[in-house]
């Protein structure tokens, strides 16, 4: 890696706002800045050893993802169970579900997520299980490919596809149940939370 690539000041300037935004989705507004500071301390200390086996962006997001997981594990004694809940059968899909997972692509709803991320959609994404939320955020909001997500999270490409399929399926159902979609004054698709669902995150 050349000296420009390893310029920590430039890396911090380019990536810090993105990483804070990413971490907000994983650990919440209150802790995102603290975790981001820890992440960039690790980036700074490990930068000389970065060999470019993956892209700089993928490498930094991997550190950020691990930092978020470590923070969440420290924050809740039951989180490890929560984070791994439902993962045991993820490599055993068969039939139509396995085919759908292989062919899963962003839907109209996920294009809406990319466009605006309003409070209705943010609340639904934040309520997803961590394993689904992470891959969904990396794919839909950060724009990483499935292969890059596998590299960042340390899981197989097949598992990434399965988690994205399940995350998108769950998100679509939640959006249909809890959001009203409409065309705004610019004739663009938007949504508001349905009456009676304002407290759904507390259920």
What is the pLDDT at residue 39? 97
Whether 102 and 161 have beta carbons less than 8 Å apart is answered as yes
pLDDT band for position 98 (50/70/90)? low
- Kindly report, as residue ranges, where domains of CATH 1.10.10.10 are found in the chain: 88-202
CATH architecture under which domain 88-202 falls: Orthogonal Bundle (1.10)
- Kindly report, as residue ranges, where domains of CATH 1.10.1740.10 are found in the chain: 8-77
Q: How far is Cα 18 from Cα 57, in angstroms, rounded to an integer?
A: 10
b/e 89-106 (16+ beta carbons within 10 angstroms → b): ebeebeeeeeebbeebee
Q: Which CATH class is domain 8-77?
A: mainly alpha
pLDDT band for position 59 (50/70/90)? very high
- Which pLDDT tens digit goes with each residue over 173-200? 887 887 777 666 766 656 677 765 444 4
């Amino acid at each position: 890696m050349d000296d420009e690539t390893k310029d920590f000041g430039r890396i911090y300037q380019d990536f810090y706002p993105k990483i804070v935004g990413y971490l907000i989705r994983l650990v919440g507004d209150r802790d995102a800045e603290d975790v981001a500071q820890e992440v960039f301390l690790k980036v700074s200390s490990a930068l000389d050893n970065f060999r470019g086996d993956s892209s700089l962006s993928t490498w930094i997001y991997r550190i950020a993802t691990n930092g978020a997981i470590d923070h969440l594990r420290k924050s809740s004694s039951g989180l490890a169970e929560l984070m791994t809940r439902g993962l045991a059968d993820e490599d055993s899909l068969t039939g139509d579900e396995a085919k759908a997972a292989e062919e899963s692509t962003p839907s109209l709803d996920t294009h809406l997520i990319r466009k605006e991320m309003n409070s209705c959609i943010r609340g639904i994404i934040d309520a997803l299980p961590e394993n689904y939320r992470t891959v969904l955020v990396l794919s839909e909001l950060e724009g990483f490919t499935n292969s890059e997500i596998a590299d960042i999270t340390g899981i197989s490409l097949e598992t990434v596809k399965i988690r994205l399929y399940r995350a998108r399926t769950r998100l679509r159902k939640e959006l249909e149940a809890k959001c009203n979609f409409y065309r705004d004054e610019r004739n663009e698709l938007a949504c508001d939370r349905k009456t009676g669902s304002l407290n759904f995150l507390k259920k």
